[in-house]
């Protein structure tokens, strides 16, 4: 019966728009606060951590306000207590226009550029400039769309689009990307559309008045607009947000022939940066541009060394600096690059500048709730007992391990053609995959039979 | 003194002021041309001149060596953010350079194309791919918008274009200077060049011939 069902199942039609994969934090949609910034117990993918979420909500207000520059926040807590989730929640609630740059502490150690250069680039990526620029748009009423598919069925589609205004008519050749977005927007003859010539973005303005008498099935929200006048191509001022780093890159790229080969930016000269800072503040005074300070999130901040911290100290004092959010799961540990111990591996002078948000381990109820949300996100159905077992595993080993088991148990269940994950499936994957503590246990028992055990040296330093 | 006389004198005065201003404007464009850094290059029977103006704009002109006709004039300026913009063709062939990268949207080659090609005595625009009969077209001058407009009664083609040469010298647009003809599915619009422009161009050409032109193609461009 089940086999028959599987055989007759129509292959799922994949939507082109949903190409994101399910990541560790893709269930987070916001901080889960109400209007008074009071945290709801379960909301927007967030569970528990009420005090930290409320604190993050206050920080969020400060960022949205945009007046205060160069504040730094540290989210500290044990592994798997939702530090990155809170940062992601902030990012999600900021909206489109506020820049949010996330890097990991170890990302800045590159051979191609110095640590401080990597940090300054990250800083400048997190500052947005909203500015008017002139772009060319095409605005007209669609007369005809003609899309030719190649006879063989494969290969690029060829398309023509005829647009008109009250004065003229023009035929355009379409690229394959354009054809796709036209069909995605469901553009048809009689629609009035604008196309951004550089990016190819299509905006539907409505239907032409001349088509108002068509007895087509139309939604109630269909708007009727006049056919545009004059020329099809117009120059229009549009407001968009670019980051300071993007302006840096535009202005520092080697000119001419060499630009073809130097794809990456490399180091940006400090003169260029100064010039751009001056230019931007000039624009701001003239009212041409608006500065939107964003957020720079540095995960695993204990991986930064003492040089980076002193650079951060200095960089935070600039008025063109974003709000810095850092996260760490370390306790008192060595500051990288020194022999000193310090809380979170961060020097005391840096710590002094920080607002510290602490996260605490999840309770049983919260763990249960998170696992439920993850099951929904990963599209796995869990029986009540399996859920209880998984919650216990989550409490005794770690939340991350329990989350890992969801998709694997889901696969085991699907292989035995079940619809709901049972306790047996959980048991199966629990025995197949070791968690961290069982693995360490195993190591201790069988260490002698592993390679290189004869040179019993000092323990590897991991801090 | 009679009031009307007073008024008319004021008009005369203001007209005089206008002409004075026009001369000053004319002066300022020719001055900025003089001040611009120029590099000349003789190549394929063309004299190519590159201008770099004090505001960062670049202009390239190409003259036929034999006839001294202007064949190409194009401009390039930096965008607000500092990025190098594309060349914008003012005179000469406007057909886009074919690139290997896939285009998003492009005008079909069967559409009417406007390009400017000047003669010694007039500005001239040619619109190719216009198969309609001559009666369809009407061409007018819009003095307040400072542009000329081509209209078609069958609503197939419409184009507003300005005459940058006149704008730069702040000269007025005259509808009497405009004429057009149609042949071989090409519409040709001509605008008689005013005296000031003709003399300015002659001066410029004389000036350009004085610049020592390099004949080698791969020498560094000093103005760039």
pLDDT digits (tens, 9 = 90+) for A83-124: 888 988 888 888 778 888 999 988 888 777 888 888 998 999
Residues of A in contact with B159 (CB under 8 A): 168, 231
Residues of A in contact with B104 (CB under 8 A): 175, 177-178, 197-200
Q: Measure the CA–CA gap between B186 and A334, rounded to whole angstroms.
A: 80
Q: Which of B50, B56, B76, B82 best tests the A interface by mutation, with the highest count of A CBs <10 A? A: B82
pLDDT digit string, tens, across residues B34-69: 888 888 888 888 888 888 888 888 899 999 888 888
Instruction: Give domain status of residue B21, yes or no.
Output: no
Predicted-complex ipTM score: 0.75
- Residues ≥6 apart with Cβ < 8 Å to A303: A104, A105, A106, A336
DSSP tag of A98 = S
Q: Measure the CA–CA gap between A382 and A371, rounded to whole angstroms.
A: 10
Q: Measure the CA–CA gap between B99 and B117, rounded to whole angstroms.
A: 25
CA distance B166 to chain A (A): 21
Nearest Cβ partner of A231 from B107, B158, B224? B158
- Write down the pLDDT at residue A14: 43
Instruction: Give domain status of residue B208, yes or no.
Output: yes
Average pLDDT of the residues in B12-16? 54
Segment 16-55 of chain A within 8 Å of chain B by CB: none
Q: Which residue of B has its CA nearest to A167?
A: B155
**CB spacing of A172 vs B107 below 8 angstroms:** yes
Q: Which residue of B has its CA nearest to A242?
A: B81
DSSP tag of B222 = T
Instruction: Please report which confidence band the pLDDT of residue B189 belongs to, taking 50, 70 and 90 as the band edges.
Output: very high
Instruction: Please report which confidence band the pLDDT of residue B150 belongs to, taking 50, 70 and 90 as the band edges.
Output: very high
Q: A182 — contact with chain B (CB < 8 Å)?
A: no
Looking at the predicted structure, is the pLDDT value of residue B220 above 60? no
Q: Which residue of A has its CA nearest to B157?
A: A168
Nearest Cβ partner of A231 from B82, B152, B159? B159
Q: A231 — contact with chain B (CB < 8 Å)?
A: yes
Looking at the predicted structure, is the pLDDT value of residue B194 above 70? yes
**CB spacing of A132 vs B80 below 8 angstroms:** yes
**CB spacing of B111 vs A171 below 8 angstroms:** yes
**Tokens 């103005």 sit at which residue?**
B223
Q: Measure the CA–CA gap between A406 and A421, rounded to whole angstroms.
A: 9
Across chain B, mean pLDDT equals: 80
Q: A405 — contact with chain B (CB < 8 Å)?
A: no
Residues of A in contact with B81 (CB under 8 A): 131, 133, 242, 246-247, 250-251
* CATH of residue B214: 2.60.40.790
Instruction: Give domain status of residue B3, yes or no.
Output: no
Q: A195 — contact with chain B (CB < 8 Å)?
A: yes
Nearest Cβ partner of B107 from A170, A255, A279? A170
Domain count, chain B: 1
Measured from the Cβ of residue B14, the count of other Cβ atoms closer than 10 Å reads 10
**CB spacing of B81 vs A133 below 8 angstroms:** yes
Segment 118-177 of chain A within 8 Å of chain B by CB: 131-134, 138, 160-161, 164-177
**CB spacing of A172 vs B160 below 8 angstroms:** no
Structural domain boundaries, residue B54: 31-223
Q: Which of B79, B81, B162 best tests the A interface by mutation, with the highest count of A CBs <10 A? A: B81
A198 — phi, psi (to 5°)?
A: -75, -45
Residues of A in contact with B152 (CB under 8 A): 167-168
- Residues ≥6 apart with Cβ < 8 Å to B26: B169, B170, B171, B196, B200
Alpha-helical runs (H) found in A81-211: 83-94, 115-125, 176-184
Alpha-helical runs (H) found in A31-169: 50-65, 83-94, 115-125
Percent of chain B with pLDDT over 90: 16
Q: Measure the CA–CA gap between A389 and A373, rounded to whole angstroms.
A: 16
Instruction: Give domain status of residue B82, yes or no.
Output: yes
CA distance A390 to chain B (A): 50
- Write down the pLDDT at residue A259: 44
Instruction: Give domain status of residue B4, yes or no.
Output: no
Q: Which residue of A has its CA nearest to B112?
A: A170
pLDDT tens, position by position, for chain A (463 residues)? 444 444 444 444 444 444 457 777 888 888 888 888 888 888 888 888 888 999 999 888 888 887 777 788 999 998 888 888 898 888 888 877 888 899 998 888 877 788 888 899 899 999 999 988 888 889 999 999 988 877 776 777 788 999 999 999 999 988 888 888 888 888 888 899 999 887 788 888 888 888 777 666 666 677 888 999 888 988 888 888 888 988 888 787 654 444 444 445 567 888 888 988 998 989 889 888 888 888 899 999 999 999 999 999 988 888 788 889 999 999 899 999 899 999 999 999 889 889 999 998 888 999 999 999 889 888 888 899 999 999 999 888 888 899 989 989 999 998 988 888 999 999 999 999 998 888 888 888 887 777 776 655 555 555 5
Interface of chain B toward chain A, CB-CB under 8 angstroms? 79-84, 102-111, 151-152, 155-160, 224
Nearest Cβ partner of A172 from B80, B81, B105? B105
Q: Measure the CA–CA gap between A417 and B66, rounded to whole angstroms.
A: 85
pLDDT digit string, tens, across residues A195-244: 988 778 888 888 888 877 766 666 667 788 899 988 898 888 888 888 89
Residues of B in contact with A168 (CB under 8 A): 152, 155-159
Nearest Cβ partner of B104 from A131, A178, A250? A178
**Tokens 């300071």 sit at which residue?**
A244
- Write down the pLDDT at residue A265: 53
Q: Measure the CA–CA gap between B125 and A332, rounded to whole angstroms.
A: 77
**CB spacing of B105 vs A175 below 8 angstroms:** yes
CA distance A313 to chain B (A): 29
Which residues lie across from A358 on neighbouring strands?
A76
Segment 260-279 of chain A within 8 Å of chain B by CB: 276, 279
Q: Sign of dihedral through CA atoms B3, B9, B14, B17?
A: negative
Nearest Cβ partner of A171 from B79, B108, B224? B108
**CB spacing of A131 vs B80 below 8 angstroms:** yes
Looking at the predicted structure, is the pLDDT value of residue B224 above 80? no
**CB spacing of A231 vs B107 below 8 angstroms:** no
Q: A206 — contact with chain B (CB < 8 Å)?
A: no
Q: Measure the CA–CA gap between B211 and A144, rounded to whole angstroms.
A: 54
Q: Which of A394, A334, A327 is nearest to A366 (CA)?
A: A394
Q: Are A296 and A120 in contact (CB under 8 A)?
A: no
Give the alpha-carbon dihedral of B60, B64, B69, B72, to 10 degrees: -30
More confident residue, B22 or A25: A25
Residue A269 has which token pair?
Answer: 């000269």
**Length of chain B measured in residues:** 224
Q: Measure the CA–CA gap between A226 and A231, rounded to whole angstroms.
A: 14
Instruction: Give domain status of residue B11, yes or no.
Output: no
Q: Which residue of B has its CA nearest to A181?
A: B104
**CB spacing of B108 vs A172 below 8 angstroms:** yes
**CB spacing of A164 vs B84 below 8 angstroms:** no
Nearest Cβ partner of A242 from B81, B110, B160? B81
- Write down the pLDDT at residue A17: 43
């Amino acid at each position: 019966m089940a086999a028959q069902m599987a055989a007759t199942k129509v292959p799922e039609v994949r939507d082109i728009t949903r190409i994101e994969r399910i990541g560790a934090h893709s269930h987070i949609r916001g901080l889960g606060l109400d209007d008074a910034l009071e945290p709801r117990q379960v909301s927007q993918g967030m569970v528990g951590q009420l005090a930290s979420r409320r604190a993050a909500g206050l920080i969020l207000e400060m960022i949205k306000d945009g007046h205060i520059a160069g504040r730094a926040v540290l989210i500290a807590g044990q592994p798997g207590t939702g530090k990155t989730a809170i940062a992601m929640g902030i990012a999600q609630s900021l909206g489109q226009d506020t820049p949010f740059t996330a890097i990991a502490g170890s990302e800045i150690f590159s051979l191609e550029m110095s640590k401080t250069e990597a940090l300054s680039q990250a800083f400048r990526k997190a500052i947005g400039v909203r500015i008017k620029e002139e772009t060319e748009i095409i605005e007209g009423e669609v007369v005809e769309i003609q899309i030719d598919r190649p006879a063989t069925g494969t290969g690029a589609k060829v398309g023509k689009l005829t647009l008109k205004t009250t004065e003229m008519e023009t035929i355009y050749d379409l690229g394959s990307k354009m054809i796709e977005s036209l069909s995605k927007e469901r553009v048809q003859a009689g629609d009035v559309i604008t196309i951004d010539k550089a990016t190819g973005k299509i905006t539907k303005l409505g239907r032409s008045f001349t088509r108002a008498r068509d007895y087509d099935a139309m939604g109630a929200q269909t708007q009727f607009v006049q056919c545009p006048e004059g020329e099809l191509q117009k120059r229009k001022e549009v407001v968009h947000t670019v980051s300071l780093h993007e302006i840096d890159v535009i202005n520092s790229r080697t000119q001419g022939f060499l630009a073809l080969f130097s794809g990456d930016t490399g180091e940006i000269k400090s003169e260029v940066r100064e010039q751009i800072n001056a230019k931007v503040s000039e624009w701001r005074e003239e009212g041409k541009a608006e500065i939107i300070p964003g957020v720079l999130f540095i995960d695993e901040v204990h991986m930064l060394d003492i040089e980076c911290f002193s650079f951060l100290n200095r960089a935070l004092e600039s008025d063109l600096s974003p709000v810095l959010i850092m996260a760490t799961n370390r306790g008192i540990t060595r500051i990288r690059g020194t022999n000193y111990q310090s809380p979170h591996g961060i020097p005391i002078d840096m710590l002094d500048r920080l607002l510290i948000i602490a996260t605490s381990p999840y309770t049983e109820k919260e763990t249960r709730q998170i696992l439920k949300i993850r099951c929904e996100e990963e599209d796995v159905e869990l029986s009540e007992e399996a859920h209880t077992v998984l919650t216990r595993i989550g409490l005794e080993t770690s939340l991350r391990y329990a989350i890992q088991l969801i998709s694997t148990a889901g696969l085991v269940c699907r292989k035995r053609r079940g619809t709901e994950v049972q306790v047996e499936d959980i048991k199966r994957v629990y025995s197949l995959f070791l968690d961290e503590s069982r693995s360490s246990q195993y190591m201790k028992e069988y260490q002698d039979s592993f390679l290189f055990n004869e040179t019993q040296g000092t323990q590897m330093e991991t801090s | 003194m009679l009031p009307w006389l007073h008024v008319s004198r004021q008009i005369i005065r203001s007209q005089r002021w206008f002409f004075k201003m026009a001369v000053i404007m004319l002066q300022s464009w020719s001055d900025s041309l003089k001040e611009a850094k120029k590099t000349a290059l003789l190549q394929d029977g063309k004299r190519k001149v590159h201008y770099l103006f004090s505001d960062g704009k670049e202009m390239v002109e190409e003259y036929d060596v034999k006839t001294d006709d202007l064949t190409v004039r194009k401009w390039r300026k930096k965008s607000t953010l500092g990025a190098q913009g594309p060349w914008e063709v003012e005179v000469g062939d406007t057909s886009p350079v074919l690139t290997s990268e896939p285009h998003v949207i492009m005008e079909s080659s069967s559409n009417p194309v406007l390009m400017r090609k000047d003669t010694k005595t007039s500005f001239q625009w040619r619109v190719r791919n216009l198969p309609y009969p001559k009666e369809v077209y009407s061409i007018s001058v819009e003095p307040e918008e400072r542009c000329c407009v081509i209209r078609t009664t069958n609503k197939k083609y419409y184009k507003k274009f300005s005459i940058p040469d006149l704008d730069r010298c702040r000269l007025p647009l005259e509808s009497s200077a405009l004429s057009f003809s149609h042949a071989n599915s090409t519409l040709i619009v001509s605008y008689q060049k005013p005296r000031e422009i003709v003399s300015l161009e002659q001066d410029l050409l004389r000036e350009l011939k004085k610049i020592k032109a390099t004949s080698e193609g791969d020498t560094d461009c000093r103005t760039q």
